[in-house]
Amino acid sequence: MTVTLLKATQGHVRGIARVYVDAWRATYAGLLPPKTLVGMDYDRQSVEWAYQIRHKALHAPILVAYDDKSGVVGVTSFGRSRIEDRPARPPFTQVGITLGSGEVFTLYVHPDHQNRGIGAALIGGAFETLRERGLNQAYVWVLHDNPARYFYERMGGRFIATRRERLWGSDVAQAAYGWPDLAKTLALPGLVRSARLG
């Protein structure tokens, strides 16, 4: 069984939608309102991801992890930091994240395929692509109570800050993790994985 990282195309949107909806429901039960999770569906997410790939892929390619038996099993989107979060101020600057940083917007591995090294491969692919585009720093916002924050710590991310925001009809706490030197992170053995997995 082989999992390969690919640049997402329109042919992947249904698989991405399945990963996204199933991962949200498995991860965010108890963290986000049930109405938000029940209201999600594959068709709407397919339309959303088709739009993302069509309109944003040039600036921030979306990567999928593709399993030769199961199809799309993971997805990540990333790019230059979003304007509203642009972190050229403390506490981001205190860990070395400055203007011109990259940001990981989404990272989801299907619940049936977690703990196979796919998340590490996807974040490695995102970091490599950001580097190719001249961005050597990155950060991510994650729900404070999501165990995925410890995955980011395992990937070498440094805790930066917390914030509260009104999202999906709920007041949620988030935590930010940052990588001030992606070249260094990518060079660390056994951390982020190579793009091709066996």
Ligand X SMILES: CC(C)(COP(=O)(O)OP(=O)(O)OC[C@H]1O[C@@H](n2cnc3c(N)ncnc32)[C@H](O)[C@@H]1OP(=O)(O)O)[C@@H](O)C(=O)NCCC(=O)NCCS
- Residues making contact with ligand X (CB under 6 A): 23, 27, 107-109, 114-120, 142, 146-148, 150-151, 154
Cβ proximity to ligand X, 2 vs 54, nearer residue: 2
> Of the two residues 58 and 68, which places its CB atom closer to ligand X in the complex?
68
Longest CA span, the chain: 46
In the complex, minimum distance from the CB of residue 151 to ligand X, in angstroms, rounded to a whole number: 4
Q: What does the alpha-carbon distance between residue 55 and residue 59 come to, in Å, rounded to a whole number?
A: 9
| Cβ atoms of residues 173 and 143 within 8 Å | yes
Cβ 143 to ligand X shortest distance, Å:
7
Specify the residue, 101 or 114, whose C-beta has the smaller distance to ligand X.
114
Structure tokens belonging to residue 134: 């001249």
Token representation of residue 197 = 């997995």
How far out from the chain centre does Cα 100 lie?
18
Closest separation in Å from C-beta 28 to ligand X: 8
Residue number, 41 or 153, with CB nearest to ligand X: 153
CA pair distance 3, 67, nearest whole angstrom: 4
